[in-house]
């Protein structure tokens, strides 16, 4: 059994994908499985550099599986498909435009094992904002002990934690930490690079809600993480050691927007899973 599965959805962004694969190929940990769900018009696997990086990953003791998926039903369906292919206890959902420093993957696994929470994220910095300092958006709440379950309601004070993930706010805060310090902080959600406990994610339905969403949507990880935090808790690491390619999104409609947000399903999903949260938690522990 691999130490973790990396679940990587991609669509028509070969240069950003190459950056992502470079980060994976340089990770200090070994023996993980990379599963790519490719919805590109021309399979990215046909790119010579992508093929080479897959070989590098395999030469370092990992494995790479490529799934060409021509039908597009939205990003939540992509994640649902990838989750159904996963076997490892820990799964990293990694967007195709994120570079990880070599220590990041190992640190995420360490935190998940220590905290026994639902997920731990490493939010990527867009370095084009490196000189855009926004003190009013840099409020951070660090976990002082074990990560605990919490209900973070939309529009609540805790929901404002999302401001930390705007521009390069988290990056600026991390640079104020003592040299070598690593902290866990509280989140509203953390996108792009998040390691999940697979059984816990599956216990709250994973991304099986995708048929309830319009074709062009977002917020699928926001919804899943909100449910996970209510039962198991969740957090993010600082510094994150991750960087965003800052390339255009491929999940938008022809008008450059979305037709629905997964968070609209929160009342329904909360009623379905949170009411029986004690039973769900017990089933995962057994």
pLDDT in the model for residue 286? 63
- Report pLDDT digits (tens) over 103-122: 999 999 999 999 999 999 99
Q: What are phi and psi of 251, to 5 degrees?
A: -100, 5
Q: pLDDT band at 275, cuts 50/70/90?
A: confident
Measured CA distances, 285 to 115, 217, 232, 280, 282 (Å): 14, 33, 11, 9, 5
What's the chain's average pLDDT? 95
- Report pLDDT digits (tens) over 72-107: 999 999 999 999 999 999 999 999 999 999 999 999
Q: Determine the longest span between alpha carbons in the chain, in angstroms.
A: 50
pLDDT in the model for residue 62? 97
Torsion of CA 134, 136, 137, 140, to 10 degrees: 120
**60 has a pLDDT exceeding 90:** yes
Give mean pLDDT, residues 258-273: 93
H/E element, 6: strand 4-10
What domains, with CATH codes, occur in the chain? 4-285 (3.90.550.10)
Of the listed ranges 41-45, 126-130, 173-177, the one predicted with least confidence: 41-45
pLDDT in the model for residue 254? 82
Angle at 219 between CA 29 and CA 73, to 5 degrees: 90
Contacts of residue 210, defined as CB under 8 A and 6 or more positions apart, other chains included, come to 73, 74, 76, 77, 79, 80, 220
- Report pLDDT digits (tens) over 206-234: 999 999 999 999 999 999 999 999 999 99
Contacts of residue 131, defined as CB under 8 A and 6 or more positions apart, other chains included, come to none
Q: What are phi and psi of 147, to 5 degrees?
A: -65, 130
């Amino acid at each position: 059994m691999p130490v973790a599965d990396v679940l990587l959805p991609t669509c028509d962004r070969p240069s950003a994908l190459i950056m992502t694969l470079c980060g994976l190929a340089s990770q200090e940990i070994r023996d993980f499985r990379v599963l790519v769900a490719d919805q590109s018009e021309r399979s990215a696997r046909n790119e010579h550099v992508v093929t080479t990086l897959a070989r590098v990953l395999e030469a370092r003791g990992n494995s790479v599986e490529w799934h060409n998926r021509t039908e597009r039903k939205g990003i939540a369906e992509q994640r649902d498909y990838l989750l159904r292919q996963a076997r490892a206890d820990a799964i990293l959902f990694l967007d195709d435009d994120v570079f990880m420093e070599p220590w990041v993957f190992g640190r995420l696994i360490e935190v998940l094992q220590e905290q026994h929470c639902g997920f731990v994220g490493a939010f990527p910095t867009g370095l084009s904002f490196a000189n855009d300092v926004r003190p009013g958006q840099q409020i951070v709440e660090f976990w002082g002990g074990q990560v605990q379950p919490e209900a973070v309601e939309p529009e609540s004070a805790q929901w404002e934690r999302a401001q930390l993930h705007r521009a390069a706010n988290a990056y600026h805060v991390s640079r104020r930490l003592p040299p070598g310090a690593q902290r866990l902080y509280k989140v509203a959600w953390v996108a792009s690079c998040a390691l999940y406990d697979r059984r816990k994610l599956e216990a709250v339905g994973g991304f099986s809600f995708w048929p309830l969403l319009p074709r062009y949507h977002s917020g699928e990880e926001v919804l899943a993480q909100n449910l996970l935090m209510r039962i198991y808790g969740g957090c993010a690491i600082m510094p994150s050691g991750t960087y965003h390619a800052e390339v255009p999104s491929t999940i938008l409609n022809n008008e450059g927007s979305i037709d629905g947000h997964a968070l609209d399903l929160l009342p329904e999903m909360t009623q379905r899973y949170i009411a029986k949260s004690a039973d769900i938690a017990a089933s995962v522990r057994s």
